[in-house]
Structure 1
Amino acid sequence: MTQSIVVQVGQCGNQVGCRFWDLALREHASVNKKGIYDEALNSFFRNVDTRGGVDGADVSSGKICSLKARAVLIDMEEGVVNELLQGPLQEVFDTKQLITDVSGSGNNWAVGHNVYGSQYRDQILEKLRKTAEHCDCLQCFFVIHSMGGGTGSGLGTFVLKVLEDDFPEVHRFVTSVYPSAEDDVITSPYNSVLAMKELTEHADCVLPIENQALVDIVNKINQMASSGKLGASMKLSSTVTSGHGGIKTQEKPFDAMNNIVANLLLNLTSSARFEGSLNMDLNEITMNLVPFPRLHYLVSSLTPLYTLADVNVPPRRLDQMFSDAFSKDHQLIRADPKRSLYLACALMVRGNVQVSDLRRNIERLQPSLSFISWNQEGWKTALCSVPPVGHSHSLLAVANNTCVKPTFIELKDRFVKLYRKKAHLHHYLQIDGMEQSCFTEAFNSLTSLIEEYDKLDATKGSLADAPRLSIAV
């Protein structure tokens, strides 16, 4: 059994990470009734039970203190991490695997990347190595961070480079939360574009999540619930939207949004944690979904986004779940993949769903989707028998699709508006190692990325045009 390590950076990264661990424990508890430390738990948890002190010991006492998350928590403001250590999950986190400061990064990528990166590099590397030493077969690092602030964007991408330098054979999956246009951090376009260059160069896969898309999804669910349109078919205690569990019992504004991102990660890792008739290795995602190394930004959609009251799933509702996964309302970025070009697509299904259901729905949906000319059958599928808690079934669709381009174009435009006025630039240039050329290079990197997507859209990715892009080996 392989193991993965979660690296949570910044306020957003740690809040989303907290949700992931909370919901992951619920899932394992619902399956592992006897509380035995098994291979499923071993994938993301290690057992440090004081009675045995080794992996595989009995943890049937019911105390989660014998389980420690395979996680490294980093934040240059200690508030969120301190809340985690005082909350219901406090015993899950190893206090030796935390790195905090008190002053924060001042919403400045350069402070997070250059100042704190240099200051904490040795500590970060030591924590990562210690965590890796507890793994028999380390398969993947999951980095969770936001793009708009200073610590998440700056130190988060610095950690990514450390991982590439010191663990080059281990895949690097990054979940990046992108700010909305109305973001209250005025410098978020600078931070995001500077971070984008690092993600493009050093990540294996990036799952971009847009704050505004999450807001829209949560608002839509709340409106449907309050209007009664869903009737008795909806449970308000959905693990996707519920704010219970995690840091504190009092719900916070971003709890429902963070839960959606956490559920994305739960579904993405379900095959690594549970048995299934058609399991998907995490490395297979990069192998099958990333034909060009720079174009590794994968669009994700999740369905259902609320819990249905009935357990018996009629075929009509199952088919609707597949249809929803390709609708713009279920995408975790504001995009319509059906109007753009697919390079490849992975469907990760959980619950009592058959291979025949998968095949039937792929055949039904295929004519309405535009796949690149040299990968018309570019589907990767996975079936995990264990559904998320509160659901009878679920589907995560992860697609390499050119519909990410408008998100990048909008980010580029917001960057240009600030940069033309040289607004707030002096806050960055006063940091050692930061020069104006850093902004130019980051801007050019993003522009080049957009142009690569343009080429694919213009030609539908015909084989004649493929040599213009470097193909991943």
Structure 2
Amino acid sequence: MAQSVVVQVGQCGNQVGCRFWDLALREHAAVNKKGIYDEALSSFFRNVDTRSGGDGPDIYKGKICSLKARVRQSIKALLIDMEEGVVNEILQGPLRDVFDSKQLITDVSGSGNNWAVGHKLYGYQYRENIVEKLRKAAEHCDCLQCFFIIHSMGGGTGSGLGTFVLNLLEDEFPEVYRFVTSVYPSGEDDVITSPYNTVLAMKELNEHADCVLPIENESLFDIVNKIHQMINSGKLGSTVKQNSLVTSSAGSAKTVQEKPFDAMNNIVANLLLNLTSSARFEGSLNMDLNEISMNLVPFPRLHYLVSSLTPLYTLADVNVPSRRLDQMFSDAFSREHQLIQADPKHSLYLACALLVRGNVQVSDLRRNIERLKPSLHFVSWNQEGWKTGLCSVPPVGHSHSLLSLANNTCVKPTFIELKDRFMKLYKKKAHLHHYLHIDGMEQSCFSEAILSLSDLIEEYNELDATKGKSTGRITRIPGK
């Protein structure tokens, strides 16, 4: 079975990663009642010899998981942060037994919300250590298919060191796919330098990633608020389960406005859970992760995939009747379910993937695609640009779910807004000195980064110009 390694970088990356492991263990515990180490577990976990005669510790110490083995289970992941706080919280929490100290790289001073510190300073300082740990993680995979990088774009470590790791992966494992989940800051982000960090990181994503799943904080916040409104109105039923991750902290009655990040991170973790379901469980129409890049990315640089998730409410948290199947497909194409502020229906599709979980038939997939096609605009040269996956194991607490991944020009407004925020700072040369005093960082890095983003926007403009043309042709190949 194909296997993957997760690389969590920075505070956001490690918090989202922790949520993903939590939910993945819930799923495997629900499916694997006997607690036997099997192929499904091997996709993201490995056996570690405890050198003891009795049962090893629970894979996840909690009521929801009873997996046990003669050997301890350890995740195939690398946790990196230039502050110790979040990683220490993970190591002191219920997931501590699935992490190995050899999988951790931490510092104490942080990157000061500065891409140059994360990329140029810490990148080169920790390069050998990171490469060594990546190689060891890869050695534990019999059939390494891809690396998942989870990071945020607005701070220093996630954007700077996260994209440095991306470059390392291309150098060290050029044949292994690189999936990046990037959390983008909102326009009202409290990090004043976030436009710099994000645009500098975008250049690296343009050049070195195979697929990027951009997630906007603003969209996550809106979704979490919508979930709470639905719960309070009774539309999701009257019961939110104890210790629900919908709330801001386990067992807490705090409102989402006070501390929404746990619930927001949980939505991103659910995205990853659905994305990896075919790699972890059986299905009649399972989709390899490399098929996503092969089928959804016709041009090298246009690899930003818009994701939507339905049901929106978090897994195993809300007692709710099943959503009608056809309505689930309709929801996946509505702007309320997108994880960025975008409206794909009124933009141009290059390709689209539907990853379905649960008791759904291939005929259901085909029927809904045919029903939705007339309302969607596909490029003239890829009118049948659909890829479908069907995993038989549904999410915990639901009969079915759907993750849609669309290569769609609707990402363009996000990039235009980012460019505008960058230029407002850059025209005034605001805060540039914080970057330029780092060795290896020059002002040309900024001009090259904004040029890379401008070129990307122009490639989307060229595609949009073909919208509605039955025989439209692109004047040049994007990404070349």
Q: Which interval holds the TM-score relative to the shorter structure?
A: over 0.9
Name the SS for the 1:322 alignment partner: helix
Contact 1:30 1:389 in 2 (8 A): yes
Alignment of 1:317-466 (within 5 A): 317-460=324-467, 465-466=473-474
Unaligned ranges ≥5, structure 2 = 60-65
**Cα deviation, residue 469, structure 1:** 1.4
- The answer for the alignment partner of 1:34 in structure 2 is 34
1:112, 1:175 → 2: CA distance? 18
2:130, 2:344 → 1: CA distance? 38
- The answer for the alignment partner of 2:63 in structure 1 is none
Q: CA RMSD for the aligned pairs?
A: 2.5
Which of 145, 158, 170 matches 1:164?
A: 170
Percent of aligned positions that are identical: 79
Question: Structure 1 residue 149 and structure 2 residue 155: aligned?
Answer: yes
Provide the TM-score with structure 1 as the length reference. 0.93
Which of 257, 276, 281 matches 1:274?
A: 281
Contact 2:247 2:263 in 1 (8 A): yes
**Cα deviation, residue 122, structure 1:** 0.2
Contact 2:236 2:320 in 1 (8 A): no
Q: Deviations over 1:47-102 (max 9, x none)?
A: 1142589xxxx988737981101000000001100110100000111110100000
Name the SS for the 1:122 alignment partner: helix
Q: Deviations over 1:224-266 (max 9, x none)?
A: 211234445x7556977356679xx999530100000000000
Contact 2:224 2:260 in 1 (8 A): no
Pair 1:310–1:334, CA change in 2 (3 A): closer
Provide the TM-score with structure 2 as the length reference. 0.92
2:475, 2:28 → 1: CA distance? 46
Which of 443, 468, 472 matches 2:476?
A: 468
1:462, 1:173 → 2: CA distance? 33
Contact 2:305 2:407 in 1 (8 A): yes
Contact 1:88 1:245 in 2 (8 A): no
Name the SS for the 2:8 alignment partner: strand
Pair 1:310–1:109, CA change in 2 (3 A): closer
Pair 1:238–1:362, CA change in 2 (3 A): farther
- The answer for the alignment partner of 1:114 in structure 2 is 120
Contact 1:239 1:259 in 2 (8 A): no
Pair 1:182–1:450, CA change in 2 (3 A): same
Alignment of 1:230-245 (within 5 A): 230-232=236-238, 235=240, 241=246
Pair 1:250–1:215, CA change in 2 (3 A): closer
Contact 1:303 1:321 in 2 (8 A): yes
Pair 1:406–1:61, CA change in 2 (3 A): closer
Name the SS for the 2:396 alignment partner: coil
Q: How many correspondences in the alignment?
A: 464
**Cα deviation, residue 272, structure 1:** 0.3
Pair 1:236–1:190, CA change in 2 (3 A): same
Which of 186, 192, 195 matches 1:189?
A: 195
Q: Deviations over 1:265-298 (max 9, x none)?
A: 0000000000001000000000000000000000
**Cα deviation, residue 470, structure 1:** 4.8
1:242, 1:272 → 2: CA distance? 29
Question: Structure 1 residue 221 and structure 2 residue 230: aligned?
Answer: no
- The answer for the alignment partner of 1:23 in structure 2 is 23
1:64, 1:366 → 2: CA distance? 51
Pair 1:445–1:462, CA change in 2 (3 A): farther
Unaligned ranges ≥5, structure 1 = none
Pair 1:424–1:352, CA change in 2 (3 A): same
2:436, 2:311 → 1: CA distance? 46
1:51, 1:212 → 2: CA distance? 48
Q: Deviations over 1:209-231 (max 9, x none)?
A: 00000000001111121123444
Alignment of 1:76-95 (within 5 A): 76-95=82-101
